[in-house]
Amino acid sequence: MNIIQEGSSVIVNGINDFNVVHVFDCGQCFRFYQEEDGSYTGVAFKRVINVDYRDNKLIIDNANIKEFNDIWRKFFDLDRDYSLVKKQLSEIDDTMIKSTEFGHGIRIIKQDEWETIVSFITSANNRIPMIKRAIEGISEKYGELIGEYRGKKHYTFPSPEKMKELTLEDLKISGVGFRAKYILDAANKVVNGDVDIYNLKDCEYSMAKKELMTINGVGPKVSDCILLFSMDKYNAFPIDVWVKRVMEYFYYPEGIDNKVLQVKADEKFGKLAGFAQQYLFYYARELKIGK
């Protein structure tokens, strides 16, 4: 991996297994939007960046090498060999060969714990465009202005302390609907120290999941999303409607209980369960498998 600065962009040469559409449209994050040129612009960790990938080069605009080393290297999981991950999953069966080939450029990004909690509480019984709109609405109303980039103003995601001060109506007008009460419960528990979200990554998976589920509105699927996308728990296997369909379509009887399916996924995929889930989710959703 060779990293250079060219103007306002950091250019990372020699990056394989990266596709911006696969990374940003696989359901793991909600603040990146595709530009007309195919690149993606978004906000993470109080910074605005534009991301593109071509000719085995990852191009991160509006960034510098220090920020790359401090934030974006870990954010995009660039030190992991995804070719090896896909090889190991492909050895399981033909379904994993097809799903890893289809979503060959997926990488699991490492997001802020608090923003991930709110994002996936908002995701419950919701569609991705509506989730994006709600998260953007919260940021514009209650976050801080970062600045203007590519003709658009961008805002930070508000802290739990800020969101604790809000009312149900404040949140509802941002588009989260009935989930407002769950978000406020999360803010209160985080601020009061009832759930130590910034140290859960150091806990064993089942203990971290149990603690997250003390937050109202955080069930098995939402907690697994939080653990996978922000807390380094790559054995987490979030089961949503698409994952359930594809698992039933290829592996197990229709109507299998989610708790049983969770155990089966752990047996089948082990420590790579989270990666398998992302490839299967993207494969099933894009090709409407099992619909």
Q: Please write the tens of the pLDDT for every residue from 33-49.
A: 999 999 999 999 999 99
Is the confidence at residue 290, as pLDDT, over 90?
Answer: no
| C-beta separation of 107 from 76 below 8 A | yes
Q: What is the pLDDT of residue 289?
A: 87
Is the confidence at residue 247, as pLDDT, over 90?
Answer: yes
The count of other CB atoms within 10 Å of the CB of residue 36 is: 5
Q: Please write the tens of the pLDDT for every residue from 150-176.
A: 999 999 999 999 999 999 999 988 889
What are the b/e assignments for 227-259, b being 16+ CB within 10 Å?
bbbbbbbbbbbbbbebbbbbbeebebeeeeeee
Q: What is the pLDDT of residue 173?
A: 87
Contacts 24+ apart (CB under 8 A), 49-56: 50/149, 50/150, 51/20, 51/23, 51/24, 52/20, 53/15, 53/18, 53/19, 53/20, 53/105, 56/13, 56/14, 56/15, 56/16
Is the confidence at residue 248, as pLDDT, over 80?
Answer: yes
Q: Please write the tens of the pLDDT for every residue from 1-26.
A: 899 999 999 999 999 899 999 999 99
Instruction: Determine if residue 232 is left, alpha or beta; phi over 0 gives left, psi from -120 to 50 gives alpha, anything else beta.
Output: left
Q: What is the pLDDT of residue 79?
A: 96
Q: Please write the tens of the pLDDT for every residue from 49-108.
A: 999 999 889 999 999 999 999 999 999 999 999 999 999 999 999 999 999 999 999 999
Is the confidence at residue 291, as pLDDT, over 90?
Answer: no
Q: Please write the tens of the pLDDT for every residue from 183-212.
A: 999 999 999 999 999 999 999 999 999 999
Q: What is the pLDDT of residue 90?
A: 98
pLDDT above 70 as % of the chain: 100
Residue by residue, DSSP assigns 24-46 as: HSSSS-SSEEE-TTS-EEEEETT
pTM above 0.85, yes or no: yes
Q: Please write the tens of the pLDDT for every residue from 221-230.
A: 999 999 999 9
Instruction: Specify the pairing of strand 2-6 against strand 40-44.
Output: unpaired
Q: What is the pLDDT of residue 133?
A: 95
Q: What is the pLDDT of residue 192?
A: 96
Q: What is the mean pLDDT of residues 129-138?
A: 95
Quote helix, strand, coil % in the chain, to nearest 5: 50, 15, 35
- Structure tokens given for 155: 């805002």
How far is 224 from 251, CA to CA, in rounded Å?
A: 21
What phi and psi values does residue 127 have, to the nearest 5 degrees?
Answer: -100, 150
